[in-house]
Amino acid sequence: VLLAITPAIFYGVLGVVTNMANLHIVGAGAIGLSLANAFAYDHSVTLLVRRRYTVPFAFSSGQELYHLPVKHIDLSDPTQNKPLIQHGFICVKSYQLKQAIQSIAPYLAEHANLFISHNGMSDLKEIEQYLGEKQALFFFSTSMGGLKINDTTVKATGAGETYLGACNDIALERLSLSFNQFFCSQIPHSKIHHNIAQLRWQKLLINVAINPLSAIHQVKNGQLRQPRYASMILQLLNEACVVANADNIDIKLNEALTSAYQVMTGTQHNSSSMAQDILNGRHTEIDAICGYIVKRGAYHGIDTPYNREMLNQLLKLHS
């Protein structure tokens, strides 16, 4: 049942809405819509999409289904007004990132803040070339769980943690208290992280441990804690940590294992994004996850047979 009276009205009556900002989100996937849900009751949220949706966007917390009070702009429609983006969130797959940035770069305000979130490793230098010197680039890593139950609806499947880090100097300056309050006050269980390289590698290692195995075996994240997966997870993370260390990232295998198992527990009822991609016959992010470990390993002369095996198996399932 779609509730006509949304929490937005409830919050509005209580006067909780302060400093309303205009936010734009690229990507109406599980993360994009979960973010929209987190922000839409205190801020004005517009989804930037590539088609016209006729059904409203919605968020399900389990029993109840809420209309998301968001607008949307179809960027492919030349007759629609173009946005001026102050705070832009790009929540697309790693292989769609470059194209997404290219498509919104002309609409970024001079002092815009751009937040990206994706699995796997992207080339930040490549992204930065689309940004002006006053435009800040942030990365956030999240394990908040969401399942798209249809084109416009996401169902929350787990709280998960979120970390926000600065990717360029201007973002570092703006990682100030008032600014991080803006982000962290809206996203449950979120924190600032001060070492972006470490943050991105930590996220990568979690995805190395969870995504390919959950996709191949079509199991929920929590099921990967079963002993039958333990040795493969250990081998995958061992290789990935050796490569991370060669890349000057100080991550120890036991820490990587601990956080991977914590995320499996925290998101035990989630189907990972890769498990959902395989189930729905979609392209996966394996290239940017195990493929990245294999590529960086080759660069350092480190053999990574377990990650290569995952890469090959996933490419066979969907190339």
Closest contact distance (angstroms) between CB of 189 and ligand KPL is 13
Residue 47 backbone phi and psi in degrees, to 5: -90, 130
Q: Closer to ligand KPL by CB, 46 or 141: give it.
A: 141
Site string for ligand KPL, 218-247 (x = CB under 6 A): ---x--------------------------
Q: Closer to ligand KPL by CB, 164 or 210: give it.
A: 210
Closest contact distance (angstroms) between CB of 266 and ligand KPL is 9
Closest contact distance (angstroms) between CB of 133 and ligand KPL is 32
Burial of 269 (0-12, 13-18, 19+ CB in 10 A): exposed
Q: What is the rounded CA–CA span in Å between residue 31 and residue 93?
A: 10
The contacts found for 20-24 with CB under 8 angstroms, 24 or more apart, are 20/44, 21/86, 21/87, 21/182, 22/46, 22/84, 22/86, 22/87, 23/86, 23/87, 23/88, 23/89, 24/48, 24/83, 24/85, 24/87, 24/88, 24/89, 24/104
Identify which range of 36-44, 69-77, 207-215, 238-246 contacts ligand KPL by CB under 6 A.
207-215
Closest contact distance (angstroms) between CB of 254 and ligand KPL is 19
Alpha-carbon Rg for the chain, nearest whole angstrom, is: 19
Choose, by CB under 6 A, the member of 48, 131, 206, 256 that binds ligand KPL. Answer: 206
Q: Closer to ligand KPL by CB, 26 or 30: give it.
A: 30
Choose, by CB under 6 A, the member of 270, 284, 304, 307 that binds ligand KPL. Answer: 270
Check residue 168 for interaction with ligand KPL (CB under 6 A). Answer: no
Q: Closer to ligand KPL by CB, 34 or 143: give it.
A: 143
Q: Closer to ligand KPL by CB, 119 or 153: give it.
A: 119
Phi-psi group of 21: left, alpha or beta (phi > 0 → left; psi -120 to 50 → alpha; rest → beta)? beta
Q: Closer to ligand KPL by CB, 44 or 313: give it.
A: 313
Q: Which of residues 272-301 bind ligand KPL (CB under 6 A)?
A: 272-273
Phi-psi group of 309: left, alpha or beta (phi > 0 → left; psi -120 to 50 → alpha; rest → beta)? alpha
Sign of CA pseudo-dihedral 296, 117, 141, 278: negative
Identify which range of 91-99, 244-252, 267-275, 296-304 contacts ligand KPL by CB under 6 A.
267-275
Identify which range of 52-60, 108-116, 178-186, 270-278 contacts ligand KPL by CB under 6 A.
270-278
Q: What is the rounded CA–CA span in Å between residue 185 and residue 69?
A: 19
Q: Closer to ligand KPL by CB, 27 or 145: give it.
A: 145
Indicate the DSSP class of residue 319.
-
Asked if 118 contacts 93 with a C-beta cutoff of 8 angstroms, the reply is yes
Helix (H, G, I), strand (E, B) or coil at 38: helix
Site string for ligand KPL, 101-140 (x = CB under 6 A): ------------------x---------------------
List the one residue out of 310, 200, 206, 217 whose CA is nearest residue 266.
206
List the one residue out of 183, 192, 202, 195 whose CA is nearest residue 121.
202
Indicate the DSSP class of residue 96.
G
Check residue 170 for interaction with ligand KPL (CB under 6 A). Answer: no
What residues line the site for ligand KPL (CB under 6 A)?
A: 119, 143, 145, 206-207, 210-211, 221, 263, 267, 270, 272-273
